Structure 1
């Protein structure tokens, strides 16, 4: 027996209570709601044999990018498979189980393909689209994110209950592929449908970051509290965006205040929270600000993550904390682990080999004041940095460090080329960083000429 969920897709649930709980999981995943685990717990109490629920638990574990959750993800896969032995599953439910199996096997791209197979049959399945979107984001596949959403847009009419969330995904994919004007319109339209869509709000905030429209970005976040008030730790990322906008206005004290009051209000060790914190502190230090002892608590968490090796994106942000607090032994241990992982076979290990090894070497050199070596390594990693995942705005901290290393090392021509390329990727919009660095470059060139 099946019933339809909020996406009008069949689920092998027999009670209305279970369907309600599953719909809570769906809406929670789409909105980054903090109650999502509560809904999942209720679902599994009501329907302990629901294979898709077990698969969802396993997939959610993998999205945290934490090595210690891998046993739980394997347990979830085993439970999902056991459930299918005596309960028939739908194509969509089978796709989620297959995706979990493939991702656990080190094949996230194949996991995406399994989800997309289901989406071709059920293009109105917003939650599967969000899952595909999320894994692609981890892999840095902006083009794939956009293509995936655009294949199913026509199946989401204005009366689809999840229309706004899909528009939020589309807005983010548009922004990451450089279509800033359409991304802004799409994201704002999505918020009209789903006012609690933190992802859609943050997509528009990305537009304002990339186009240096600070006042618009701050007003957006202040005026759409419904999109982040009920959010899980993703709300810290929204506040991170607000801090970036204040840095753009040279309001460094305001940004640091947001760090203390919001971004690190809860001292979590989630890699996404650590990346918010470390990248913000590094940006402030690049602007000459003393951030005091704040690196220390981040380094304490990051030391425990040296052997994780789940995501290069996470590792490089852990390294920022370790260098910021001068944890030499932990830095050496991470360098050794990167070397081991780079020699291994697999989709994620390829990213450790390149750009991971060069990026790690460059960050270590930057911390040690060896700016010529830092620039050489970071510039070498640059062409593949998108493959470590995250967004343009998140990876921009490494871009800024590359440029500042080049300026400090006297690599003026090469640094100018990177500055021009960065400007081009932003649609020609000069932000404060590019303006000040071009000014420093011209000053340095003038002094060198004398």
Structure 2
């Protein structure tokens, strides 16, 4: 039968207990909660013919960015198609099945478009809005994220049970498109509406990173424990943000302490956890800090991901670990795999070809002390780097490496342009990195620092 879920959307389930578990899936996904797979597992045990549940399982697999989950995602699609063929299901449910199919074909943009057709009919469907938001994030479509959320905002009034989570998504899109003041206001409103929105909290933390307000960011995270303490491994990303804020205050020891106590508390190989760890370690090294043997465990895990090839964003962070611990054979293997992938057709191979090849070459050159070659390659990759996914704050690690390569190579004019671009992106707000690198540039030119 057709009943309605917490988003007031029709769903083909048989009883109230199943709807409760489905609502648990929705709220878990929106809040990055730990119980999402528990609810989904229990739901599918009770409702094995629920096509959207199978599609959700497959889509959640793909969002992990791991090659070994592809068979499970294909199996989920087969089950979803079988279930859909044996009964009448809603257009929303069909949309999710189609989106999974398209993404598995290597067409994430088409998958997004299919989800958007669902949202046009059901603009109050926060779950589908979050799915569109998540896939767009993985392919670096910040403008599309903002358009998508703003199309459905009016359908999420004060009485909508999931309004706060959508405000968190809106805040993140505002921040990623440079509307920092609006992002802060919207994000804080969202946190007042739902206090367990880790994504919304992190959106405001991004604002404080981009506007060089580390004290405000640290206070925000300390004062909103409920937003992250019950979340899944996303809480490590929140702690990563806190470490960056301490780094911006020059508190390197505190940042490294957070790395040990929180960010790598669990030695997982989730690409998001690896990216948190590698990007923090190299930031610390760029500031002259010795991080000891911490690269080794990251490199051990990253060596196993050399042939993964799901996301350029993930691959480049695996490479940071392989350069950090100097694993030359694994680095060569990854370069060979990039070359093979770049010859294939499709959206993701296109990203491997550009900017992936140049970025990979530049990072390898930087690790070898070939700074001029590193700068040339990284500067070539730089305009297209948003297409690898992630946020401005996450990709800033590559910006920092590019700038330091330029300074070390003596390419002062070109490096100054990049420094000014980075400053403009941050609304003209000087963080510690900008201040120190402009100072280095002035001293290299023998001009008094301004």
Matches within 5 A, 1:267-282: 267-282=267-282
Question: Is 1:240 aligned to 2:209, yes or no?
Answer: no
Inter-partner Cα distance in structure 2 for 1:226 and 1:256: 24
Matches within 5 A, 1:70-109: 70-109=70-109
Task: Give 1:113 deviation, angstroms.
Answer: 0.3
Task: Give 1:178 deviation, angstroms.
Answer: 0.2
Cα contact 1:17–1:46 (8 A) shared by 2: no
Q: TM (normalized to structure 1)?
A: 0.99
Q: Name the residue aligned to 1:434.
A: 434
Q: TM (normalized to structure 2)?
A: 0.99
Question: Is 1:168 aligned to 2:168, yes or no?
Answer: yes
Q: Name the residue aligned to 1:408.
A: 408
Q: Deviations over 1:267-293 (max 9, x none)?
A: 000000000000000000000000000
Q: Deviations over 1:13-46 (max 9, x none)?
A: 0110100000000000000001110010111011
Q: Name the residue aligned to 1:50.
A: 50
Matches within 5 A, 1:134-213: 134-213=134-213
SS of residue in 2 equivalent to 1:3: strand
Task: Give 1:447 deviation, angstroms.
Answer: 8.0
Q: Deviations over 1:215-260 (max 9, x none)?
A: 1000000000000011000000000000000000000000000000
Q: Name the residue aligned to 1:263.
A: 263
Q: Name the residue aligned to 1:16.
A: 16
Task: Give 1:87 deviation, angstroms.
Answer: 1.8
SS of residue in 2 equivalent to 1:60: helix
Q: Deviations over 1:274-315 (max 9, x none)?
A: 000000000000000000000000000000000000000000
Inter-partner Cα distance in structure 2 for 1:374 and 1:194: 45
RMSD of Structure 2 on Structure 1 (CA):
0.8
SS of residue in 2 equivalent to 1:446: coil
Cα contact 1:24–1:39 (8 A) shared by 2: yes
Inter-partner Cα distance in structure 1 for 2:37 and 2:358: 38
Matches within 5 A, 1:298-447: 298-446=298-446
Q: Deviations over 1:82-133 (max 9, x none)?
A: 1012221101000000000000000000000000001000000000000000
Q: Deviations over 1:30-64 (max 9, x none)?
A: 00001110010111011111000000000000000
**1:447–1:167 CA distance, 2 compared to 1 (3 A):** closer
Report runs of 4+ in structure 1 exceeding 4 Å deviation.
none
**1:152–1:300 CA distance, 2 compared to 1 (3 A):** same
Inter-partner Cα distance in structure 1 for 2:193 and 2:140: 27
Q: Deviations over 1:139-191 (max 9, x none)?
A: 00000000000001000011100000000000000000000000000000000
Inter-partner Cα distance in structure 2 for 1:321 and 1:65: 18
Inter-partner Cα distance in structure 2 for 1:88 and 1:135: 27
Q: Deviations over 1:328-380 (max 9, x none)?
A: 00000000000000011000000000000000000000000000000000011
Question: Is 1:130 aligned to 2:109, yes or no?
Answer: no
SS of residue in 2 equivalent to 1:11: strand
Question: Is 1:231 aligned to 2:235, yes or no?
Answer: no
Query: May I ask how many residue pairs the two structures share in their alignment?
Result: 448
Unaligned 5+ segments in structure 1 are none
SS of residue in 1 equivalent to 2:290: coil
Question: Is 1:222 aligned to 2:222, yes or no?
Answer: yes
Task: Give 1:411 deviation, angstroms.
Answer: 0.2
Inter-partner Cα distance in structure 2 for 1:388 and 1:88: 38
